[in-house]
Amino acid sequence: MLEILTVDPSAPEASEALTRYLAELEERFVGETHAHDEESSDHLDNFRPPNGTFVLLIDDGSTIGCGAIRRLDETTFEVKRMWVDPLERGKGHGLRLIGALEDLARYAGAQRLVLDTNDTLFEAVSLYERSGFGRIDRYNNNFDANCWFEKLL
């Protein structure tokens, strides 16, 4: 049974999902240096209410994905740490996960979602475009990103 659960980002299951997410990034960006500031414990508050929310995608008791939102201002939230296990991709899980994050952001008062990614993560770019996100100009200083998106809620 597929579930999307809100959890504290420091929970063991969340830490495991973030570790798997980061391992995939390291594998896909071999030989490149990346800054993952939000994963350090002092940044986890970004993913806790009232600043944000962290969710896990669970299938029959196994964590197969994660994602988070964080507040940038009164009406704008940013999607972060979107990840679905590579063996589970192509089954609509990413659409469910981004939909849940949109709902959580809307509930928290968001009128706009933004996110950044790298086009090397072509599955992510495709997911965001299918989900109604449009490309925008750079809005942050994430040197790992080369694509920026927004969606009005």
pLDDT at 36: 52
pLDDT at 143: 87
* Phi-psi label, residue 64: left if phi above 0, alpha if psi -120 to 50, beta otherwise: alpha
- The answer, as to whether pTM is greater than 0.85, is yes
pLDDT at 111: 98
- Total domain count, the chain: 1
Q: pLDDT (tens digit, 0 to 9) for every residue of the chain, 153 residues total?
A: 999 999 999 999 999 999 999 899 888 887 655 555 444 444 888 999 999 999 999 999 999 999 999 999 999 999 999 999 999 999 999 999 999 999 999 999 999 999 999 999 999 999 999 999 999 999 999 988 999 999 999
* Phi-psi label, residue 19: left if phi above 0, alpha if psi -120 to 50, beta otherwise: alpha
- Find out whether 127 and 117 touch, Cβ atoms under 8 Å: no
pLDDT at 41: 46
- Domain of residue 72 covers 2-152
CA gap 102, 94 in Å, rounded: 12
* Phi-psi label, residue 152: left if phi above 0, alpha if psi -120 to 50, beta otherwise: beta
Cβ neighbours of residue 2 closer than 8 Å, sequence gap 6 or more: 57, 58, 59, 93, 96
Q: What is the CATH number of the domain that holds 90?
A: 3.40.630.30
